[in-house]
Structure 1
Amino acid sequence: MADNKIKGPTELHTFLPNDNSKQELTTKYKVQVIPKDVEVATSLTDPDQFDPFAGRDCATATSDGQTLTHLLKASLGTGILSMPLAFYKAGLVFGIFATIFVSLVCTHCSYILVKCAHILYHKSRKTEMSYAEVAEATCALGPKFLRKFAFIPRYFIQISLFLTYYGTCSAYTVIIAENFREVFDYYMYNKTNINYLNDPTFLNGTVEAVSSQPAVGTNIRLFIACLLLPLILLVWVPNLKVLAPVSMVANFFMATGLAITFYYIFQDLSHISEVPLVGNISDFPRFFGITIFAMEAIGVVMPLENNMKTPRNFIGTCGVMNKGMSAVTVIYILLGFLGYVRYRSENSIITMDLDIQEIPAQVVKILVGLAVFCTFGLQFFVCLDIAWVGMKDYFTKKPLLMNYVLRTVMVIGCVLIAIAVPTIAPLIGLIGAFCFSILGLLAPVGIEMVVLWDVGFGRFNWIVIKNILITIFGIFALIFGSRCALYDIYDQMIK
């Protein structure tokens, strides 16, 4: 770290060395002087030695461990239960390497977003930024021809993030209700029919009559409506620091549910030699669509970094992000690989393969429902942050009261949407496919290109080549992910 008393050199000092020439840093040729780490270069050439992290509120800031907990919960969402289907589309061997590839790309894009944000903190004299603010600052502090368009990426990312995560919250409401309803209906209505069917003294004709009748079930909208009050109480949790224990509980529920699922999986893996190593190439887009949108957590990256006590620990070789995504990748591969070997079915989630008549399977469905319920708060925080930033200037007299009013109204909206369209998941899949490809892959590489515009793109312009490859992959995911989602919507419409 440079001495705080050392000031940036004048134009004359650049050409005329003096007694302190070994200590001073040149600003005219800063790209050549410090080419490796742009964040370090920005801080060292800052005449006031501005520390963007010194002004953060440490009272409500989260520790590295709490941030890791939130990151794991955001990444280990309901998408993990679809990994056996992803491996069904890709094959065993290709599925392993492709999952690692997707994880590396998604993690790298999140990494460069945070890295560019740290550079922009120094340039803009801000201590924290949202994703949308990073996009705006990138253009506002970038090349002159982009500065007048700085508001466009800000609003685009805000709208995309809000629609994606607000829709996800509505879909989560349906998922929670479905898991609870399946167990409730089994004990309330259908268990009697199953007991009759298992009774050897029961007449065949009556058995056929009973078995030919559709299973009786409770209206899903009633279950969704019953979730309104619990969800309101959940989103009243004031901040991420207080929400950390809820995320830990959600991780416990999901881990327990996955452990029981693995118990079912390991009961029979004898047919592994019959499972294809590489799937049909026409099904690869479906694999990438499932995996990307299961792993992607770009919307919570900046909120998590903004609430950390030690933001620099979020990135780095052994940083919070790399630790969390490494663990997530291993779990995704294990469940996808073993779940495909065990069931080899095309069900959308692996819990659908579990027998509802067995107690452990019922426990899995309840735990998954509770885990998604706890995750609702973290996903909702992204929507709340976007909405409150745009509205808080209008409510300066009673900001705390209005903040909680906003939370309540937004939850009511989520529940009403879920009640109106209880099969909303395919539509949200389309929004997620479109937005996550842009937000998670294309936007971060675009931000990096602009931030490094005046600095350079490394030897042989390797950063440009790398970002071109990611862009191609992102467009591929955008087109084919949206295509798969449209097919899902069509299937729902014709049923």
Structure 2
Amino acid sequence: MKAKENIIVSVFTVEPNRNANSNNGSDTYAMSQSTEQILSGKSVSRAENGNAEISHHVTHPTSYMDTMLHIFRGNIGSGLLAMGDAFKNGGLVFASVTTAILGIICVHAQHILLNYSEEMHRQLKCDKPPGYAETVYLVFHHGPARWRGLAPFMRLMINTFLCITQLGFCCVYIVFIANNVKLICDHYELKLDLSIHMILVVIPVLLACMVRNLKYLTPFSTIANVMMAVGVSVVVYEAAQDLPSVSSRDYIASWQQLPLYFGTAIYAFEGIGLVLPLKNEMRRPELFQKPFGVLNVSMSVIGSIFIVVGFLGYLKWGNDVQGSLTLNLQPGLLLSNVVQILIALAIMFTYPLQFYVPIDITWPVLREKCGPNSLVIKELGYRALLVLLTFVLAESIPQLGLFISLVGAVSSAALALMFPPLIEMVGSCRKSSGPSALILVKDVAIIVLGVFIFVTGTYESVAAIIRAFQS
């Protein structure tokens, strides 16, 4: 899952310092410290000389295989289970080819971010490479004079999109869990409205999100990983049984459906917030970006899994394929019920981890304005309000597949496709020769693709949601 899932994966081994401060608005490299802790699993503290640099050490350095497993954990979840719906909106041939191309573009964008993070690290002699928002800020801040004034705004934009993405994941999770629980309850004649199921789901989620220290959630993350692995394996096995002829499915979908495909596919691939923290916690970080390094190898496998699952899901169930393949399992079978329960619980255990990032980005800013009294109670109240916000949004858009496409189009496209080539263009302007024509054309093309997915995906997702309510 993007926190896709992707963003939260390295929390499995983290023991964060709750007293770490995040961005205080200064123009130095001091932004979102505690979020970096969450993402990277490192102990973070202020440097002794009082400046804004961050000192850290890797408490549990990871091997090549450990890091690869973390990337698998971060990318395989609700996005994978939605790939059948993506292929329905793209067509067997178009979606297969385009998913591979999108995966290559997204990984290339991740390499751009990694390269500029490392470059800022070397030039500014920071204790560790900066994170996503910090890298964008520093590239603009130390770039051409005409771009420097945009640095704080760009940092704000990255953090805003990170919050939108993570809260969007949380909304998707509520819809996902409620749909799976409703399917089981309906079979046993316990028929309740989907809204009631969402209310019942949000109660344990709300309680879990009151936990303020991530280390207490770590065991649940491990359990969620096992549940998800078992559940996804069974779903793929069921999808591969008694397949119809390939000619019975569309090779390319209608133009109106294609933006929905792009939104869902980019939702599945949006793991750019994961790469920096995982590289930073490796025992040998130089192995992360090599041609046969962790990133390229693991994302090649993940992209192949996305294509196989999407292809099988659409081929098996055709236009009846749901926003999650678990909803297509034969109702009433014990195995189907067990799989739906396992994956629903896995997603429920993951919600608090996804939820942690927007809290960690926004609460330190609010804490400065709340005064010193009853801070714990105020933080718990703020957490409750954000959980209820995701619940209200989930209630407003209960169509799971359309919701996933909307989240992917609105925020994932910007983080995965638009910002990395933008920082490469600005960073290249620092050179006396400026950006080469090849880099300029390539970066503009990726940004145009991101804008296309953002605009058309958002429009078609909203239009499809409105049509779903009208019908």
- The two structures share one fold, judged by TM-score above 0.5: yes
Question: Contact 2:263–2:406 (CA<8 Å) still a contact in 1?
Answer: no
Q: Residue in 2 aligned with 1:365? A: 340
Question: Contact 1:73–1:375 (CA<8 Å) still a contact in 2?
Answer: no
Q: Residue in 2 aligned with 1:486? A: 462
Q: In structure 2, what is the Cα distance between the partners aligned to 1:311 and 1:377?
A: 29
Question: Contact 2:167–2:390 (CA<8 Å) still a contact in 1?
Answer: no
Q: In structure 1, what is the Cα distance between the partners aligned to 2:379 and 2:258?
A: 40
**TM-fit CA distance, 1:344:** 0.7
Q: In structure 2, what is the Cα distance between the partners aligned to 1:388 and 1:63?
A: 33
**TM-fit CA distance, 1:188:** 5.8
Q: Residue in 2 aligned with 1:196? A: none
Offset from partner CA, 1:355-378 (integer Å, 9 cap, x none): 221112112211221221233244
1:272 to 246, 256, 278: 246
**TM-fit CA distance, 1:353:** 1.9
Q: In structure 2, what is the Cα distance between the partners aligned to 1:388 and 1:311?
A: 31
Q: Residue in 1 aligned with 2:203? A: 226
Q: In structure 2, what is the Cα distance between the partners aligned to 1:492 and 1:379?
A: 28
1:253-268 alignment runs, 5 A limit: 253-268=227-242
Q: Residue in 1 aligned with 2:135? A: 134
Q: In structure 1, what is the Cα distance between the partners aligned to 2:89 and 2:304?
A: 19
Q: Residue in 2 aligned with 1:355? A: 330
Deviates more, 1:90-99 or 1:57-66: 57-66
Q: Residue in 2 aligned with 1:56? A: 56
Judging changes above 3 Å, is the alpha-carbon distance between structure 1 residues 72 and 387 closer, same or farther for their aligned structure 2 residues?
A: farther
Q: Residue in 2 aligned with 1:28? A: none
**TM-fit CA distance, 1:448:** 1.1
Question: Contact 2:181–2:344 (CA<8 Å) still a contact in 1?
Answer: yes
1:451 to 408, 427, 436: 427
**TM-fit CA distance, 1:268:** 0.8
Q: Residue in 2 aligned with 1:46? A: none
Name the aligned partner's letter for residue 410 of structure 2: F
1:94 aligns to 2:110 (yes or no): no
**TM-fit CA distance, 1:470:** 0.9
| Paired residue secondary structure (2:209) | helix
2:447 to 448, 471, 475: 471
Question: Contact 1:67–1:320 (CA<8 Å) still a contact in 2?
Answer: yes
Offset from partner CA, 1:392-441 (integer Å, 9 cap, x none): 8789999xx96x77874454234312443443455675454222222211
Name the aligned partner's letter for residue 78 of structure 1: S
Deviates more, 1:431-440 or 1:330-339: 431-440
Q: In structure 2, what is the Cα distance between the partners aligned to 1:95 and 1:438?
A: 21
Q: In structure 1, what is the Cα distance between the partners aligned to 2:194 and 2:143?
A: 58
Q: In structure 2, what is the Cα distance between the partners aligned to 1:96 and 1:457?
A: 39
| Paired residue secondary structure (2:122) | helix
Q: Residue in 1 aligned with 2:176? A: 175
Q: Residue in 1 aligned with 2:17? A: none
Judging changes above 3 Å, is the alpha-carbon distance between structure 1 residues 396 and 123 closer, same or farther for their aligned structure 2 residues?
A: farther
Q: In structure 1, what is the Cα distance between the partners aligned to 2:65 and 2:305?
A: 19
Q: Residue in 1 aligned with 2:125? A: 125
**TM-fit CA distance, 1:93:** 2.3
1:345-424 alignment runs, 5 A limit: 345-346=319-320, 347-387=322-362, 390=365, 408-409=380-381, 411-424=383-396
Give the gaps of 5 or more residues in structure 2.
Answer: 1-52
When the two chains are superposed, the root-mean-square deviation of aligned CA atoms in Å is 3.4
Deviates more, 1:248-257 or 1:467-476: 248-257
1:315 to 262, 272, 289: 289
The count of residues paired between Structure 1 and Structure 2 equals: 413
**TM-fit CA distance, 1:385:** 3.8
Q: In structure 1, what is the Cα distance between the partners aligned to 2:391 and 2:282?
A: 36
| Paired residue secondary structure (1:238) | helix
Question: Contact 2:239–2:312 (CA<8 Å) still a contact in 1?
Answer: yes
Name the aligned partner's letter for residue 355 of structure 1: Q
**TM-fit CA distance, 1:277:** 3.1
| Paired residue secondary structure (1:57) | strand
Judging changes above 3 Å, is the alpha-carbon distance between structure 1 residues 78 and 133 closer, same or farther for their aligned structure 2 residues?
A: same
| Paired residue secondary structure (1:345) | helix
| Paired residue secondary structure (1:69) | helix
**TM-fit CA distance, 1:482:** 0.7
Offset from partner CA, 1:309-354 (integer Å, 9 cap, x none): 5444332223332233112111111111111111112433322222
1:336 aligns to 2:310 (yes or no): yes
1:293 to 253, 260, 267: 267
Name the aligned partner's letter for residue 261 of structure 1: V
Deviates more, 1:105-114 or 1:123-132: 123-132
Name the aligned partner's letter for residue 451 of structure 1: G
Judging changes above 3 Å, is the alpha-carbon distance between structure 1 residues 407 and 180 closer, same or farther for their aligned structure 2 residues?
A: farther
Q: Residue in 2 aligned with 1:205? A: none
Give the gaps of 5 or more residues in structure 1.
Answer: 1-52, 191-214
Name the aligned partner's letter for residue 168 of structure 2: G
Offset from partner CA, 1:65-100 (integer Å, 9 cap, x none): 444333223322212122122222332222221110
Question: Contact 1:62–1:309 (CA<8 Å) still a contact in 2?
Answer: yes
Q: Residue in 1 aligned with 2:164? A: 163
Judging changes above 3 Å, is the alpha-carbon distance between structure 1 residues 266 and 432 closer, same or farther for their aligned structure 2 residues?
A: closer
Offset from partner CA, 1:26-84 (integer Å, 9 cap, x none): xxxxxxxxxxxxxxxxxxxxxxxxxxx99531225555544433322332221212212
Q: In structure 2, what is the Cα distance between the partners aligned to 1:365 and 1:280?
A: 31
Q: In structure 1, what is the Cα distance between the partners aligned to 2:418 and 2:449?
A: 9
Question: Contact 2:181–2:197 (CA<8 Å) still a contact in 1?
Answer: no
Q: Residue in 2 aligned with 1:237? A: 214
Question: Contact 1:235–1:380 (CA<8 Å) still a contact in 2?
Answer: no
Question: Contact 2:363–2:379 (CA<8 Å) still a contact in 1?
Answer: no
Name the aligned partner's letter for residue 133 of structure 2: A
